[in-house]
Amino acid sequence: MKMSKALDGYWLDNERLSKNTKNDYQLTFRRFVERVGDKEISEVTSLDVRGFLAYMSKELKLSGKTCCNAWVALSSLWTWAEDALGIAHIVRKVEKPKYKTPIVETYTQAEIKAMIAGCEHNEEWTTKNGKQVKPTRSSVLRDKAIIVTLTDTGIRASELCKLEIRDYSDKTGRIDVREGKGDKDRTVYASTAARRYIWRYLATRKATKQNDPLFETDTGNHLDRRNLLRMISTLGKRVGVDNAYVHKFRHTFAVNFIRNGGNAIELKNLLGHADMGTVLIYVRLAAADLEVAQQRASVADRWKL
C-alpha cells in the first residue's frame, strides 16, 4: 500500500484529533512523502525516518521542538499502521529528537505600561522642514485593550484573534474561549481594569452583532495572528522593550498569578493545560522569585536579630 493510500486510512481513524494537531501532522506527512517518495509504506525504513529528521534540522533549519513534533506525528502514523496493517513500528527504532525547554520570559510592570503608552503614536519622523512628527494611530484603544486583556487573562494569540462579541460579558468580565488548544472550551475572566479598557474600545464601535469580532481590523474582520504578532513586536521595538512577543504576556500572567496568591490547579484551568507539567514551571519560577525577594527584604537579617 502506497504512503498516500495509507494516510487516507490513518485520517479516517483519527478524525478526532484537534484542528491544530491535524494541521501539524499533515505538514509533517506531506514533507515526509515529498522527501522519501510515495513508496510502499511497508518499504519505508528507520533510515528514511532518520534521514528525514536530519533534513528538517540541517537543511530546513527547523527547531528541535519542531523536529520532535515531527517524530511524534510519524510515530502516531506507524502506531496506527502496526495495528491496522500489521507493519513493524520503525519509528520506535529512531531516537526521539531532544530539545532544550525555552526560558520562560516575562514582562515587567514598567514594560507593560510602556507598551500601553506606546499605543498612542507611531514611530516619530522628521519632515523636510526639520519638524518632529508623532503620527497618531487609528487603533489606539483596540491595541491598549488587547495588551491589557492578554496580560490579565493569559489567553493565547490564536484564542484572542477568534473572540467574538458574544464571547465577552461586559457585566462580569467573563470571556468564553471556544475551541482553544486541543479544541477545548474554557472560561477566563477579565478584571475591572481590563473591562475598562475593553469598554472604552467597544464604545467607539458602531452597532455590533453577536458574531462580530471582539477585536476587529479596520475592515471589520478578525485579527490575523501574524498581524497581532507583528503589532506587538513593532510596538516593543518602538518603546524599547526587548524581545516583545505575544506568548510572553501568557508567561507574565501565569507567573504573577502564582506570585499574587493563585494556586497551581486554578492556573492550570485558566491556561487550558491538559497536565501540570508547564504549570509547574511557572510555580517554580514564582517560588524562586519569592525566595530572592525574601532574602533581599528579610526582617531578621536587616534587624540583625
> Residue 247 is which amino acid?
H
Residues 194-218: tens digit of each pLDDT: 999 999 999 999 888 999 999 999 8
Nearest to 140 by CA among 160, 111, 116: 116
Give the integer Cα–Cα distance in Å for 138 and 120: 9
Residue 192 burial by Cβ neighbours in a 10 Å radius (0-12, 13-18, 19+): exposed
Whole-number CA gyration radius for the chain: 24
Among residues of the chain, what percentage have pLDDT more than 90?
A: 64
Residue in the structure block whose three cell numbers are 526582617: 299
Query: Mean pLDDT throughout 156-183?
Result: 90
Give the integer Cα–Cα distance in Å for 258 and 251: 11
Of 143 and 294, the structure prediction assigns the larger pLDDT to: 143
Could you tell me which residues are beta bridge partners of residue 177? 186
Nearest to 48 by CA among 70, 69, 63, 26: 70
Q: Flag whether pLDDT at 115 surpasses 80.
A: yes
Q: Going from the N-terminus, what domains does the chain have, and what CATH number goes with each?
A: 3-93 (1.10.150.130), 109-296 (1.10.443.10)
Q: Which residues are catalytic?
A: 156, 181, 247, 250, 273, 282
Q: Flag whether pLDDT at 265 surpasses 90.
A: no
What's the pTM value of the predicted model, to 2 decimals?
0.68
